[in-house]
Structure 1
Amino acid sequence: MNSKVLNTLEYNKIKEAIYGYLSTSTGRHELSQLNPSSDPQQIERALLETDDGAHILRLQKSMPLVTLNDIRPYMKRLTINASLNGTELAQIMQVLITVNRMVSFFDNLRANKVELQKLYDLITTFAIIPEITQRLQHSLNPDGRLLDSASEELYGLRKRITRTETTIRNRMGKYLRGNQAKFLSEAIITIRDDRYVIPVKAEAKGKFGGIVHDQSASGQTLYIEPAAVVELNNQLRRDQLAARHEEIKILAELSAMVAPYQDEIITNAKIIGHLDLINAKAQYAKKIKATLPKLSRANHLHLKNARHPLIDPHKVVGNTITLGAEYRAIVVTGPNTGGKTITIKTVGLLQLMAQSGLFIPVNEGSQVGVFDDIFADIGDAQSIENNLSTFSSHMDNIIRILKRITANSLVLLDEVGAGTDPKEGAALAIAILDKIGSVDSEVIATTHYPELKAYAYNRPKTINASMEFDIDTLKPTYHLLVGVPGQSNGLNIAERLGMEASVIQEARSFSDTSSQEINNMIKQLADQTRRAREDADYLRSQLNAATKLHAELTEKFSQYEKQRERLTQNAKERANEIVAKSKRRADKIIADLHEKQKHLSESAVKENELMDAKGQLNALHKDLNLSNNRVLKREKAKHDFHKGDDVMVKSYGQPGVLVDKVGKQSWEVQIGILRMKIEESDLEKLNQPKQAPKRQYSAVRRTSSSGMSSTLDLRGHRYDEAMHEVDRYIDAALLAGYPSVTIIHGKGTGALRKGVTDYLKRNRRVKSFGYSPANAGGDGATVVKFK
């Protein structure tokens, strides 16, 4: 990119804003070298890196960056085998520590499945030097001071120095107290010439002996090293010199250790600086609410709600600008102070930012091109020194532009052809635009000349545009109206400001009728465009509100569905627990019955009844997913009863036909010659097709599978339950073909016995009944004989 356009569009102010977010000298150096690129691959990579940095910020994470100085001068000194001081080595150590932290940081991001497009690959280019890093950390503080652990010799010397200093202070402390304290100017211990001394009054210098190292300006105080500590001070000085010699030796060893890795360390520092710049770009993008633009190799610009990044975000007006697809030239007309210059500067600056790998302040889905160069002729460039007028300076710049443009260039011209006679200026502006069009460069030009409105209307791939002006408030709105040429508002403004009507009327009479008609047409178009924009803004706000409400309702419905499924699941699981508990109890009862059956001569309970009861309990278990349960469907079909269906009476093991429904859960069933009331739970539909009923009836014979006892024991039963059992038992005995049965009702109060007697009297199938013999129970049992 030519440097002139960078200055004209204030590109360096963007770099200055990014500078404040940098931490490292290498990052600042890379920013100073940053310029827009014309290489699509390089631009794409830089934009994706910035996108990675923005994504990390959105996750509220921060790269582990610290303040790092430029280490390149230190590394150059190592090439001549020089030794670095502690501060310089500490800066190198900070680079290596930052490398380790960066690697760990991005490893954690990868482990958390954070998707990044470029930075994971960048991190792999770090040179990890663990042994050098550990040795430096073991030897140096971050401020460059050597640690005691740097060597055993240094550790021993420093310990001895500390002990000697403590001994000296303890001995000299005696002079600060007691009788000799009165000979001191001040009760302190201080240092002169790297030796511990005390301030003694001049007239008492003979009281302490030793060596005078200094005196006060007045000569009233002498700084004396007492004779009692001279040898200790000598020892301290020897140890201090030895420690200093050891420190120099350690620094030389560390420098020699680092020297072979100069290239790797410098490369690491550059990568850290590059990451620092990526982070700064992301921080700046967040501040100006910028987004990632798409890249068009065909140079089709589509900037949605583009805003100038250097204008106060609370005051800036966004405009949507499209260029390169349907039209390659935009001619913006209209009065001054309407925002024409800012609009073309916005387009140029955002394009420069995008080609530098920066996010731009536009709405999502915006698109930029890849121009080989951007040219701008904006502002008053008159020069007194070069004897150039405004017009001459503009022409000089435009001439250079026309010599350098290509089909991949973007040209921005402000007030093209201005500064000379309007007729000549308009003709020149048209010729310049035609020349740019012949090269097929993309161009945005602003002008006052009405002739260019017709030019934009008649030329292919060229469109008019203007900046909206509110005639009621006499203020510009700074909205760009694409497709609508600018109108001349001079007479209207003068009239609104209070100019006499006669003057305005005379001025209108001097103007061309066709010009007035064109201005009226333009005014209508501008009004329609403004209303359309206001309607679009209103509908957009309504759509956003509806979209937000839809998202909330969708989320609430999803939560409701999940809660309903969870509650249903919990209910089914609870029901299953209850059924399982009942099933365990039933199994226990059945087991007890089996145990009792072993000790009875004749089984009181049929096996098939036990199995049927257990099957009914098992059927209570609720399948957690019943929508496609075939077994359940078959079971439902077996219990879907209708009049005339063939059924099996499970308790009797006999087939029958449903005659009529009695109550909610009972049916009247024809079993042979008998009609009986049977519960639905005791019935099961037969699969064979229904056959025509036969007129003749055959006797029902006892089957080998009936297995019922000829004795019914009612002892322990309640009266109602006992009467029900008698009714069922007599019916079963008749079906089984028993000639007689015995009913044991016990003696007790006589209520059961009376109830059994009354029932047998009413039953027409009973031939006779009477008490059992005395040796078989007497009046505690009744023997029944059937017809």
Structure 2
Amino acid sequence: MRERDLFSLDFPRIREILASFTQTPLGREKALALMPFPNREEAEKEFSRLERLKDTSYSLSGIEDIRGILIPLKEGMTLSPQSLLTIRTTIASLMELRKIPDDLGLNGLKNLLSQGEELAKKIGAVIDDFGEIKLDSSPLLRGKIERQRNLRNLLIKRLEGIRKENPELFWQEEVTIRNGRYCLPLKSSKKGIFPGIVHDLSESEKTLFFEPLPLIDLGNQLVRLEREIEEEKRRILSELTNEVVGKREILLSLLDFAAIIDLLQAKISFARAFRGTRPIFTDNNSLEIIGARHPLLLLKGEENKEVVPLDLKMVDKKVLVVSGPNAGGKTCLLKTVGLISLLSQCGIFPPADWVMIPFFDNIFTDIGESESIEESLSAFTAHLLNIKEILENSSDKRSLILLDEIGGSTSPEEGGALACALIEALKERDGITIVTTHLTLVKFFAYNHPEIMQGGMEFKGRPTYRFLPGLFGKSSALEIAALLQFPERILKRAESFREEKFVSFSSKIKELEKEIGEYQRLNQRLKEKEKEIEEKGSLLEKRWREWEKEEKRLRREMIREKEIFLKESREKLTKVLTEFRRLQEKTFPDKKIEKKLMTRSEELLTELRAEIEKDREKLRRDRREAKVGDWVRILRFEKEGEVLEIDGEWAKVLVGRLPIKVLRKELEVMEGEGKNLPNQLRIDRETLPPFSPILNIRGEEKVFALEKVERFLEDALFYGCKEVKLLHGKGEGILRKAIWELLGKDKRISGFREGRPEEGGSGVTIVELK
């Protein structure tokens, strides 16, 4: 697109608004350089990404623009510790991208993040959080620093000894450093008494900073050692810099991915701020825009002045001629249609209730004053040259052409004739053309051509800014002048100059306005009838939902009763088996009978568990997946709350004032419930069933033990525990190994370890939860 067309449609300002929603310098840069996608497929892919991410949020504010560090970097260069720290912290912030769904189409992202993380670990092993080289970065550096510390302490000790032995020569001040040498404060009057070197003089000249001769060799050793330490640090930084050079392209790619995600999130925020909707791209020249609002008018938000939405529908019409009063909204209509199209093709939800438009190869405009003083062009000449360029570049492409005041800036007769010829040529081309005009000739030309649509901006004593299809809009110049309190004498004289030939035209307009009024009344009756049908449909839908709700309640009640029966059956079977073993010991032991009885018992319990799970699965299938903002019921605890976050198979739910983490499959969406209640459900930790952070699974079979651990961890997360204890015993270590394998794969766990001797040693595992 031409820059002048982007400027005419206020797109640079839209870019700035979009950039204000970004979190990173790179995302802002992309927003300010935003251009339309080259084809419909790319735009559709962008909208799919936005739909995928609209309920998520990623924190990217810690990502700095490190391209200034990376791009100039070459082999042999050495980065400062502070630059390396900036790279490390940026990589750490980039790890937020791990949460990005795999189906977003960012190929290779996870692999790049792994390589970036390796580099961050290497930097972290050398550079601390303050941008300083760690003392243990290498064994050689650690050894030299230790020698430096010992040598410095020895030197200071000997200096203090000399001062104590000669108190009359030195001031009672601490050892100080001058020009890199350790010195004593020597009284100026005592100069020459003790052999040594003076390195500096105080401002009062009463003190000489003096290095005793016997300690000069020790001082030289310290200086040499400090140089060796600096050389080792430079070597370490050089090696680390080479690592960065090797990963430069990876880091640049990650920065680009971050900018893409940042821009996507900014587009989502833009859509929320301006109530955008996903557009539908058509294969023909049909255009339908309902409730469109220009973002800049929404931002302006003048008091007592509501933004009038635009409704425009063009079917089987390639040209629209818009007329109407001055300052009545004709130019705003052009800009709104152009901007809605431009935003759609940039992958931004346009601010409207409904948008169905073609995907244009180009958008051309001739809007506003085009007079060029530098090139000595009149307004008319500048407009003509621009339109000529549009004609030359739109002949073989589907274009949206927006021409403001076509045929203006010259005599109405000649300007009107030229405008009619232009419209006639443009209606033969692929695409859509919308023009505005005050010229009578152009209005009649549009009226006499069925393939040209005409419409006007409504005027009821003053502009209403509403577009009315099929209406001839009067310019209403005298009425506008009266509204602006123009001198009455001049207005009356202007009225007398009106030619008789315009009377018939005005009466024609009034006839059309009368017909349109009748059409609008009929349309209003149809809308009322449609509303009545919708209300009846809503009532039927409400009754259906109530039936569904009751059916689900009964099904949940049935599941609860089966669970209670399962629990009671397990307890009874346990008692029966215990009694059976006791009787066997007294009579005759028969392991086969005992095993057969246990197997059959487990089979019965398994069948009942499967039946319960089948009921639960049916309940899950009948309900939709919970999303952020939904009011849900937590099935296991029969508590209700609002979904705050969704993270894979987990969800964070606010129950009262308590945020809790649960599996998504444990949630049931409460359609039309919850938020409409007068008081939201409140919950405290004390109202929940008691929970112990210790699980004893000693002597359990591996399969049952692992199942218990899984359930225990879910409960621990629900109750907000940060650390729990698993008692599995020592034995042969089989159960411990199986549990550690399970914990190693669990993303909910930040770490685990063997218990310390006082905690139970190897028979205990301590688990830390995220």
State the TM-score bracket (shorter-chain normalisation).
0.5 to 0.7
Paired residues of 2:279 and 2:357 also in contact (CA < 8 A) = yes
TM-superposed CA distance for 1:567, in Å, is 6.3
Classify the secondary structure of the residue corresponding to 1:326. Answer: coil
The aligned counterpart of 2:374 is 385
Seen in structure 2, the aligned counterparts of structure 1 residues 250 and 571 have a Cα distance that, compared at 3 Å, is: closer
TM-score, length basis structure 2 = 0.62
Superposed counterparts of 1:162-241, under 5 Å = 191-195=177-181, 211-215=197-201, 219=205, 223=209, 234-241=220-227
1:216-251 CA-partner distances (Å, limit 9, x unpaired)? 566566555677986665454333322211111112
User: Which of 323, 336, 343 does residue 326 from structure 2 map onto?
Assistant: 336
Superposed counterparts of 1:455-494, under 5 Å = 455-471=445-461, 474=462, 476-492=463-479
The aligned counterpart of 1:620 is none
The aligned counterpart of 2:127 is 140
The aligned counterpart of 2:3 is 3
TM-superposed CA distance for 1:174, in Å, is 10
Classify the secondary structure of the residue corresponding to 2:428. Answer: helix
TM-superposed CA distance for 1:325, in Å, is 3.4
The aligned counterpart of 1:419 is 409
Paired residues of 2:471 and 2:513 also in contact (CA < 8 A) = no
The aligned counterpart of 1:14 is 14
Q: Which structure has the bigger radius of gyration?
A: 1
User: Which of 81, 88, 92 does residue 86 from structure 1 map onto?
Assistant: 81
Cα distance in structure 2, aligned partners of 1:15 and 1:459: 39
Classify the secondary structure of the residue corresponding to 1:464. Answer: strand
The reply on whether 1:432 has 2:422 as its aligned counterpart is yes
Cα distance in structure 2, aligned partners of 1:490 and 1:452: 17
User: Which of 246, 262, 275 does residue 232 from structure 2 map onto?
Assistant: 246
The aligned counterpart of 1:446 is 436
TM-superposed CA distance for 1:301, in Å, is 3.1
Percentage of matched positions with identical amino acids = 27
Cα distance in structure 1, aligned partners of 2:12 and 2:118: 42
Seen in structure 2, the aligned counterparts of structure 1 residues 493 and 177 have a Cα distance that, compared at 3 Å, is: farther
Paired residues of 1:202 and 1:220 also in contact (CA < 8 A) = yes
Paired residues of 2:106 and 2:257 also in contact (CA < 8 A) = no
The reply on whether 1:403 has 2:383 as its aligned counterpart is no
Paired residues of 1:126 and 1:271 also in contact (CA < 8 A) = no
1:527-567 CA-partner distances (Å, limit 9, x unpaired)? 56777898899999999999998887766665455446666
Paired residues of 2:320 and 2:433 also in contact (CA < 8 A) = yes
Cα distance in structure 1, aligned partners of 2:187 and 2:520: 94
Superposed counterparts of 1:491-570, under 5 Å = 491-492=478-479, 499=488, 506=496, 510=500, 512-524=502-514, 558-563=548-553
Cα distance in structure 1, aligned partners of 2:187 and 2:533: 92
Seen in structure 2, the aligned counterparts of structure 1 residues 341 and 175 have a Cα distance that, compared at 3 Å, is: farther
Paired residues of 2:62 and 2:90 also in contact (CA < 8 A) = no
The aligned counterpart of 1:370 is 359
Q: 456-465 or 546-555: which moved more?
A: 546-555
Superposed counterparts of 1:73-112, under 5 Å = 74=70, 77-78=73-74, 80-94=75-89, 96-98=91-93, 100-103=95-98, 105-106=99-100
User: Which of 289, 294, 302 does residue 303 from structure 1 map onto?
Assistant: 289
TM-superposed CA distance for 1:421, in Å, is 0.6
Q: Which runs of 5+ in 2 are unaligned?
A: 569-610, 613-770
Seen in structure 2, the aligned counterparts of structure 1 residues 567 and 125 have a Cα distance that, compared at 3 Å, is: closer
Paired residues of 1:26 and 1:70 also in contact (CA < 8 A) = no
1:636-656 CA-partner distances (Å, limit 9, x unpaired)? xxxxxxxxxxxxxxxxxxxxx
Paired residues of 1:468 and 1:526 also in contact (CA < 8 A) = no
The reply on whether 1:69 has 2:84 as its aligned counterpart is no
Seen in structure 2, the aligned counterparts of structure 1 residues 299 and 63 have a Cα distance that, compared at 3 Å, is: farther
Paired residues of 2:326 and 2:475 also in contact (CA < 8 A) = no
TM-superposed CA distance for 1:307, in Å, is 1.7
Q: 402-411 or 346-355: which moved more?
A: 346-355
The aligned counterpart of 1:326 is 316
Seen in structure 2, the aligned counterparts of structure 1 residues 436 and 253 have a Cα distance that, compared at 3 Å, is: same
Seen in structure 2, the aligned counterparts of structure 1 residues 576 and 369 have a Cα distance that, compared at 3 Å, is: closer
1:114-144 CA-partner distances (Å, limit 9, x unpaired)? xxx5246563563632544432332233664
Cα distance in structure 2, aligned partners of 1:286 and 1:169: 68
Paired residues of 1:374 and 1:411 also in contact (CA < 8 A) = yes
Paired residues of 1:378 and 1:414 also in contact (CA < 8 A) = yes
Classify the secondary structure of the residue corresponding to 1:298. Answer: coil
Give the AA of the match of 1:47. Answer: F
Cα distance in structure 2, aligned partners of 1:351 and 1:204: 90
Give the AA of the match of 1:361. Answer: P
Cα distance in structure 1, aligned partners of 2:539 and 2:175: 78
TM-superposed CA distance for 1:149, in Å, is 3.9
The aligned counterpart of 2:141 is 154
Paired residues of 1:65 and 1:276 also in contact (CA < 8 A) = no
Give the AA of the match of 2:97. Answer: M
The aligned counterpart of 2:43 is 43
Give the AA of the match of 1:489. Answer: S
Classify the secondary structure of the residue corresponding to 1:311. Answer: helix
Classify the secondary structure of the residue corresponding to 1:444. Answer: strand
TM-superposed CA distance for 1:379, in Å, is 0.9
Q: 336-345 or 530-539: which moved more?
A: 530-539
TM-superposed CA distance for 1:429, in Å, is 1.1
Seen in structure 2, the aligned counterparts of structure 1 residues 574 and 121 have a Cα distance that, compared at 3 Å, is: closer
Seen in structure 2, the aligned counterparts of structure 1 residues 121 and 33 have a Cα distance that, compared at 3 Å, is: same
User: Which of 278, 288, 294 does residue 292 from structure 1 map onto?
Assistant: 278
Paired residues of 1:5 and 1:376 also in contact (CA < 8 A) = yes
Cα distance in structure 2, aligned partners of 1:404 and 1:200: 89
Q: 171-180 or 17-26: which moved more?
A: 171-180
Number of residue pairs matched? 561
Cα distance in structure 2, aligned partners of 1:573 and 1:141: 55
The reply on whether 1:34 has 2:34 as its aligned counterpart is yes
Q: 87-96 or 440-449: which moved more?
A: 87-96
Give the AA of the match of 1:458. Answer: N
Cα distance in structure 2, aligned partners of 1:206 and 1:23: 67
Give the AA of the match of 2:63. Answer: T
The reply on whether 1:358 has 2:344 as its aligned counterpart is no
Classify the secondary structure of the residue corresponding to 1:295. Answer: strand
User: Which of 256, 259, 263 does residue 273 from structure 1 map onto?
Assistant: 259
How much is the aligned-residue C-alpha RMSD, in angstroms? 4.6
TM-score, length basis structure 1 = 0.60
Give the AA of the match of 1:377. Answer: D
Cα distance in structure 2, aligned partners of 1:297 and 1:208: 100
Q: Which runs of 5+ in 1 are unaligned?
A: 111-116, 579-623, 626-787
Cα distance in structure 2, aligned partners of 1:424 and 1:367: 37
Cα distance in structure 1, aligned partners of 2:185 and 2:537: 84
Cα distance in structure 2, aligned partners of 1:170 and 1:542: 99
Paired residues of 1:74 and 1:88 also in contact (CA < 8 A) = no
Classify the secondary structure of the residue corresponding to 1:155. Answer: helix
Classify the secondary structure of the residue corresponding to 2:407. Answer: coil
Seen in structure 2, the aligned counterparts of structure 1 residues 120 and 266 have a Cα distance that, compared at 3 Å, is: closer
Classify the secondary structure of the residue corresponding to 2:427. Answer: helix
Seen in structure 2, the aligned counterparts of structure 1 residues 391 and 190 have a Cα distance that, compared at 3 Å, is: farther
Give the AA of the match of 2:355. Answer: S
